[in-house]
Amino acid sequence: HEAIETGTGTSQYSGTVPLTTTKSGSSYQLTDGARGGHKTYDLNQGTSGTGTLYTNATDTWGGGRQTAGVDAHYGAAVTWDFYKNFLGRNGIRNDGKGAYSRAHYGNSYVNAFWSDACFCMTYGDGQGNKKPLTAIDVAGHEMSHGVTAATAKLVYSGESGGLNEATSDIFGTAVEFYANNSSDVGDYLIGEKIDIFGNGKPLRYMDKPSKDGNSADNWSSGVGGKDVHYSSGVANHFFYLLAEGSGAKKINGVQYDSPTADGSKVTGIGRDKAVKIWYKALSTYMTSNTNYKAARTATLSAAGALYGTTSTEYKTVAAAWGAVNVK
Ligand code: ASN
Ligand code: ZN
Ligand code: CA
111 CB less than 6 Å from ligand 1? yes
Beta bridge partners, 114, equal: 121
Apex CA 209: angle with CA 231 and CA 287, to 5°? 35
Task: Answer yes or no: do 140 and 218 share one domain.
Answer: no
157 CB less than 6 Å from ligand 1? no
Nearest ligand (C-alpha, residue 184): 3
Task: Answer yes or no: do 36 and 142 share one domain.
Answer: yes
112 CB less than 6 Å from ligand 1? yes
pLDDT digits (tens, 9 = 90+) for 149-172: 999 999 999 999 999 999 999 999
Nearest ligand (C-alpha, residue 112): 1
269 CB less than 6 Å from ligand 1? no
Distance 302 CA to ligand 1 centre (A): 27
Task: Answer yes or no: do 9 and 79 share one domain.
Answer: yes
> What is the reported pLDDT for 182?
87
Q: How far apart are CA 197 and CA 126, in angstroms?
A: 10
Which of 150, 176, 210 is the last residue before a domain boundary? 150
Based on the residue annotation, tell me whether 229 is a catalytic residue of this protein: yes
Task: Answer yes or no: do 74 and 168 share one domain.
Answer: no
113 CB less than 6 Å from ligand 1? yes
Task: Answer yes or no: do 141 and 269 share one domain.
Answer: no
CA dihedral 295, 284, 83, 296 (to 10 degrees): 20
Nearest ligand (C-alpha, residue 204): 3
156 CB less than 6 Å from ligand 1? no
- For residue 1, pLDDT over 80 is answered with no
Task: Answer yes or no: do 146 and 46 share one domain.
Answer: yes
- For residue 207, pLDDT over 80 is answered with yes
Is residue 11 classed as helix, strand or coil in its secondary structure?
Answer: coil
Q: What ipTM score was computed for the predicted complex, to two decimals?
A: 0.97
**126: region left, alpha or beta (phi > 0 left; psi from -120 to 50 alpha):** left
Question: What are the percentages of helix, strand and coil residues in the chain, rounded to 5?
Answer: 40, 20, 40
pLDDT digits (tens, 9 = 90+) for 80-131: 999 999 999 999 999 999 999 999 999 999 999 999 999 999 999 999 999 9
Q: How far apart are CA 228 and CA 222, in angstroms?
A: 12
Based on the residue annotation, tell me whether 142 is a catalytic residue of this protein: yes
State which of 229, 230, 231, 236 you would mutate to test the pocket of ligand 1, scoring each by most atoms of that ligand within 8 A of its C-beta: 229
Which of 98, 120, 150 is the last residue before a domain boundary? 150
CATH of the domain at 28: 3.10.170.10
How far does Cα 302 stand from its chain's mean position? Answer: 20
Q: How far apart are CA 128 and CA 131, in angstroms?
A: 8
Task: Answer yes or no: do 114 and 173 share one domain.
Answer: no
Task: Answer yes or no: do 127 and 166 share one domain.
Answer: no
Atom of ligand 1 nearest to the CA of 114: 4
> What is the reported pLDDT for 261?
98
Closest Cα to atom 4 of ligand 1 = 113
CATH of the domain at 315: 1.10.390.10
Which of 150, 174, 203 is the last residue before a domain boundary? 150
- For residue 188, pLDDT over 90 is answered with yes
Closest Cα to atom 2 of ligand 1 = 113
Closest Cα to atom 3 of ligand 1 = 113
Task: Answer yes or no: do 233 and 294 share one domain.
Answer: yes
Task: Answer yes or no: do 315 and 184 share one domain.
Answer: yes
Distance 55 CA to ligand 3 centre (A): 29
> What is the reported pLDDT for 255?
98
* Nearest C-alpha neighbor of 112 from the set 23, 172, 59: 172
Task: Answer yes or no: do 285 and 165 share one domain.
Answer: yes
Distance 25 CA to ligand 3 centre (A): 38
User: Which one is catalytic: 73, 145, 229, 237?
Assistant: 229
Closest Cα to atom 5 of ligand 1 = 113
pTM attached to this predicted model:
0.98
Q: How far apart are CA 66 and CA 220, in angstroms?
A: 45
pLDDT digits (tens, 9 = 90+) for 229-283: 999 999 999 999 999 999 999 999 999 999 999 999 999 999 999 999 999 999 9
Domain that holds residue 104: 2-150
Q: Are 34 and 91 in contact (CB under 8 A)?
A: no
**70: part of which helix (H) or strand (E)?**
helix 66-81
- Give the count of domains, the chain: 2
Task: Answer yes or no: do 68 and 191 share one domain.
Answer: no
> What is the reported pLDDT for 290?
99
169 CB less than 6 Å from ligand 1? no
Apex CA 165: angle with CA 202 and CA 246, to 5°? 65
pLDDT digits (tens, 9 = 90+) for 14-51: 999 999 999 999 999 999 999 999 999 999 999 999 99
pLDDT digits (tens, 9 = 90+) for 46-80: 999 999 999 999 999 999 999 999 999 999 999 99
